[in-house]
Amino acid sequence: MGIVAFKKTIILLFVYFSIASSLNASVYKTYTQWEVDAIFVSWLINRYVDKQSEFIVVKKGTFIDEEYAINTPKSRFRRGGKETAFESALRQLNIRNNCSDALVPIIRILELAPWRKSEYLYVLNFENNLVNILEKDGIEKVFNYIDNYCKGEER
């Protein structure tokens, strides 16, 4: 095999595996409408577990495979009485860093003590910004907002 044929083979293999990997992207689902807890779990999966993952919302009651469900009654990552779905995901995936440490207080207030969020202006601002970005630009832009928050750019 000549060098040109070898290069073509390498390029074709690269293209094939790129297409194959995009076809196998995991699609995670949560119930309509997006909740901050489900957004945080989706962000965590997309940034630390499966960068090709996709996320959609489905009508409540629609069957979702437990492996790809987020914050639903039978999902692996769901809110309980003492932890948020995000904290459940952090624990099960064994992820802890400065970013997760910055996000946990926000999600705990929003999900476990929402009646207290008016006491925390930064939590209200974060939630309002997140909701506005989601409505205007979609989930990927929300993920970018969370990234920027973790870098200190949105605080």
Supply the pTM of this predicted model. Answer: 0.81
- What integer is the mean pLDDT of 97-107? 96
Residue 35, amino acid: E
Contacts 24+ apart (CB under 8 A), 43-51: 43/142, 43/143, 43/146, 44/86, 44/89, 44/90, 44/93, 44/95, 44/100, 45/70, 45/89, 46/143, 47/143, 47/147, 48/93, 48/95, 49/93, 50/25, 50/26
Q: Which of 19-23, 40-44, 72-76 has the lowest mean pLDDT?
A: 19-23
Q: Would the pLDDT of 8 be above 70? A: no
**Residue 19 predicted with pLDDT over 50:** no
Band the pLDDT of 22: cuts 50, 70, 90. Answer: very low
Residues with Cβ within 8 Å of residue 123, at least 6 apart in sequence: 105, 106, 109, 110, 117
Give the residues across from 57 on adjacent strands: 30
Report CA-CA distances (Å) from 58 to 31, 53, 69, 121, 142: 5, 16, 10, 31, 19
Angstrom CA distances, 64 to 20, 53, 135, stand at: 23, 16, 24
151 or 7: which leads in pLDDT: 151
Asked if 71 and 37 touch (Cβ cutoff 8 Å), the reply is yes
Please name the amino acid found at residue 15: V
